[in-house]
Structure 1
Amino acid sequence: MPSPPFLVFTDLDGTLLDHEDYSHDPAEPALARLRAAGVPVILASSKTAGEIAPLRADLGLADHPAIVENGAGVLEPGAEAPEDRGRYGELRVLLDRLPASLRAAFRGFGDWDVPMIARRTGLPLAEAELAARRRFSEPGLWRGSEAQKAAFLGALAAQGVQAREGGRFLTLSFGGTKASRMAEIAARYGRPFTVALGDAPNDVEMLEAADLGFVIANPHRPSLPPLSGEAGGRIVRIDAAGPKGWNAAMERVIKGRGI
């Protein structure tokens, strides 16, 4: 395929989607210009393939791959969500083998019914049901001490399980990051200039690996610490939050890249 002018890799919740109502409307002007210019916008989220597939279609981005479950998997262009559960059952077994004192401090999606997932995420019930259909990762909430958390993460790491802090949840998986998937997907397109947008700790590697990264403000969580590349202007902070900030960042790129 011909190499596009550039690639956009974007987080969803709190970045392209509003933290409260999940709307992307304020970002639509820049999205429309990118679609018209043939610039692939690649979703990169902790969401499942079941959640991302309809959202990707609604955004007019179904011709491009999407990074799902924090980089633990990829949803291919045009694909629907697979029916199998991948390695999720294996992950839950390892989690339940932990000492009871550590296990009790972590409650994940597999410990909640769909109404509880809806309450914890703010999603409608139908979307919460899609969020529960995980294949690679387990998001949850940590309720123990920092010392317990270190022991919890260490015990899981010994079993090959990694953890990522996101905008809302601590997410467990067998590996794969947004940054590693970004590199794989960029290679498909001939490695053009890459732009990444995010707001949470699980976006940091992707932001630092991109040619240009934007930290979108999120008033609902502490600000990210200074990032590698920020002092030299390769990573830029946008004061506006959510899709409004996303639109401002992308309008800056569109102008700067001559689109």
Structure 2
Amino acid sequence: MIVFTDLDGTLLDHGTYSHAPADATLSRLAAKGIPVVLASSKTGAEIAPLRAEIGMTDVPAIVENGAGILQPGADGSGDDSAYRRIRAALDTLPVDLRSAYQGFGDWGADGIATKTGLSNAAAALAAQRQFSEPGLWSGTDDARMVFLEHLKSQGITAQQGGRFLTLSHGATKADRMDQILTQFGNPFSIALGDAPNDLAMLHHADLGIIVQNPASPALPHQPGEDSGQIIRTNAPGPAGWAQAMTAQLDTRIT
């Protein structure tokens, strides 16, 4: 068995960012040698300390919404050439298009803290990007289409999240799941998440678990729910995560 999990609102409490309610279940998974792959929009520098906290330093993590993988033991301070290529591509754009997009690299840690509400320390980790560039578009819709076409010609794609327009070289969480599943010999896979951007990962797993998040609108009914490939938790956040994974361990692992 292998577990892929989103962080905010799933393994981490939406309000406190604590994983304490899931700690006993995480320890049980570790004792059984079951890898837990963290999958998030966070950077490697943000995820590495959390991965160490839950005892999964020797397991890869999916970072920057699938744009990259944090390798076992890495601290997120490695090769940033993919990120620098994105920044270089932005600087080849006509001035009117370039000025309408401001990203994390334009703001720096202080600006990221202001825009996101992160602490200065957390913003500094979010600024340590390797694979993708989140930012805000301030131009017209027509200009945005031209902006995206320019970037597409250089192999860069864009994904609109709840707030940021994020540029990357195109890989997704599901793509990275395939890489990691192959690495581990394609065991039975479970994925947990709470948001629309987790759905591809949930559907890609043998079992997808939608974790309740009262702070966000409930995800609509999924086709996999009719067959049992997708299930939902009754409790929110890490408490729901723990209940669901405890049930799976009790059922599938002796």
Q: TM-score range by the shorter chain?
A: 0.7 to 0.9
Residue aligning to 1:64: 59
Residues 1-259 of structure 1: pairs in structure 2 closer than 5 A = 6-98=1-93, 103-142=98-137, 149-166=144-161, 169-259=164-254
Length-normalised TM-score, structure 2: 0.87
Q: How big is the shift at 1:184? A: 1.1
Q: How big is the shift at 1:143? A: 5.1
CA distances 1:178-212 after superposition (whole Å, capped 9, x unpaired): 11111111112111100011122332211111000
Q: Partner amino acid for 2:210?
A: V
On the 8 A contact 1:20/1:122 being kept in 2, the answer is: no
Mapped to 2, the partners of 1:221 and 1:170 lie a distance apart of 20
Mapped to 2, the partners of 1:201 and 1:91 lie a distance apart of 25
On the 8 A contact 2:77/2:128 being kept in 1, the answer is: no
C-alpha distance 229-152 of structure 1, shift in aligned 2 (>3 A): farther
On the 8 A contact 1:96/1:103 being kept in 2, the answer is: yes
Q: How big is the shift at 1:97? A: 4.0
Mapped to 1, the partners of 2:35 and 2:166 lie a distance apart of 27
Mapped to 1, the partners of 2:95 and 2:125 lie a distance apart of 29
On the 8 A contact 2:2/2:187 being kept in 1, the answer is: yes
Q: How big is the shift at 1:101? A: 5.6
Length-normalised TM-score, structure 1: 0.86
Mapped to 2, the partners of 1:155 and 1:219 lie a distance apart of 39
Q: How big is the shift at 1:152? A: 4.3
Structure 1 runs not aligned, ≥5 long: 1-5
Mapped to 2, the partners of 1:200 and 1:105 lie a distance apart of 28
Mapped to 1, the partners of 2:147 and 2:137 lie a distance apart of 10
Mapped to 1, the partners of 2:84 and 2:8 lie a distance apart of 26
